[in-house]
Structure 1
Amino acid sequence: MKPDQPAARVVVCPACKGKSIYAASNPFRPFCSERCKNMDLGAWASESFRMPVDTPPDDEVYGDPKLQ
């Protein structure tokens, strides 16, 4: 490591919860491996990651009622 470069940080992999090097030397950062990166991408693609939302009734007006 060159003296002008900061030390690499070790973070928790969001997929497997293992250790992951967060530095330019890890092309999969913040993930520890390509496998973990692809697992996360697959979860997004299959819509496994969703925000819980209550569906409003069909007759509810969206936005400011004064503008409608």
Structure 2
Amino acid sequence: MPSLAPGRPCAICGKPAVDTFRPFCSQRCKNVDLHRWLSGRYAVPAVEAEEDELGLAEPEEAPPPRRRGPLDGA
């Protein structure tokens, strides 16, 4: 059995962490944590910058696409 990691407990269940799975105690706790990230339970907060702060210019409006009629040679 791998040695116990000194200091911090498992990030999921609180048991002593194991070097092989650090910061977790087992593959199960490692997979539980991965599932929480993939399912969106965990999220990293972000603050979106205003366009002015990024130095982006306002996009010009494009003209609407022209419809082709029967006389356009379609």
Please give the TM-score of this superposition, normalised by the length of structure 1. 0.55
1:1-68 equivalences in 2 (<5 Å): 8-21=5-18, 23=19, 27-52=20-45, 61=51, 63-64=54-55, 68=57
Q: What's the Cα RMSD here?
A: 2.6
- Bigger relative contact order, structure 1 or 2, given CA contacts below 8 A and separation 6+? 1
One-letter identity of the residue aligned with 1:61: E
In structure 2, list runs of 5 or more residues that go unmatched. Answer: 58-74
One-letter identity of the residue aligned with 1:50: A
In structure 1, list runs of 5 or more residues that go unmatched. Answer: 1-7
Identity value in percent: 37
Please give the TM-score of this superposition, normalised by the length of structure 2. 0.51
Larger radius of gyration: 2
- SS at 1:17's partner residue? coil
Aligned residues: 52
Moved over 2 A (4+): 51-56
